[in-house]
Amino acid sequence: MFMETIRTFVAIEIPDAVKNQVAVLENQFKKIRTDIKWVHPQNIHITLKFLGNTSINRLEEIYDGLQEAVDSIRPFHLKLQQVGAFPDLDRPRVFWINIDQGREALMTLQKRIEEILYARRFVREERPFSPHLTIGRVRSPRGLRRVTDQVRSITFNTQTFPVDRVVVVKSDLQSTGPIYTVLNHTNLV
């Protein structure tokens, strides 16, 4: 029997004011001719748990798990600061913005979500959680040196913003880029 699946992840949404700050930053980088796929500012988020192709029959289980996971977690604030790259600026594959303020609270939230969903038979992420906001993916080295030089020379930070809920997001991959749809949200207490 065929079970319908959807591509999903658990995330924290980013307020529009911060998305606008990221858009200004990305526009500076876009002036350089590169082969980097910049994340559309409306699509930026902080991924807490990538679930991948998930049976729609398990969505309620995810929602219930998130409710349990956030039961003891109070709202907190985040601040984004400085641009970096994975694995590093000498060999960048992914450009990201660091999470400065609120990092420990974010890591606690992510760990709790990971534990609860693992207990519900969802696959555990083997790599350690590295709090960040992805802004670009490198497709080829063209123009990379100029971008990394600019990253090293700029100062970037955002206003602090509240985190008071987590969302389950459906991701439809299209040729023009992913289309994200929030399926459910769970408020922090």
Mean pLDDT by 10 residues, the chain (189 residues): 87 98 96 94 96 96 98 96 96 97 97 97 93 96 93 94 98 90 96
- What pLDDT is recorded for position 89? 95
User: Which class for 99: exposed (0-12), middle (13-18), buried (19 or more C-beta within 10 A)?
Assistant: buried
Give the separation between CA 185 and CA 16, rounded to whole angstroms: 18
Which residue segment(s) compose the domain that 13 sits in? 5-187
The question of whether 40 is a catalytic residue gets the answer no
pLDDT of residue 154: 92
pLDDT score recorded for residue 3: 77
DSSP 130-168: --EEEEEEESSSTTHHHHHHHHHH---B---EEE-EEEE
Residue 14: which CATH number? 3.90.1140.10
Q: Among the options 40, 45, 77, 185, which is catalytic?
A: 45
Q: How many domains does the chain have?
A: 1
Given 40, 77, 132, 185, the catalytic residue: 132
DSSP character at residue 124 = P
User: Which pLDDT score is estimated for 2?
Assistant: 64
Dig out the tokens for 77 from the structure. 């604030």
Q: Among 8, 25, 7, 65, which residue's Cα sits nearest to residue 151?
A: 25
**77 tagged catalytic:** no
For the whole model, what pTM was predicted? 0.92
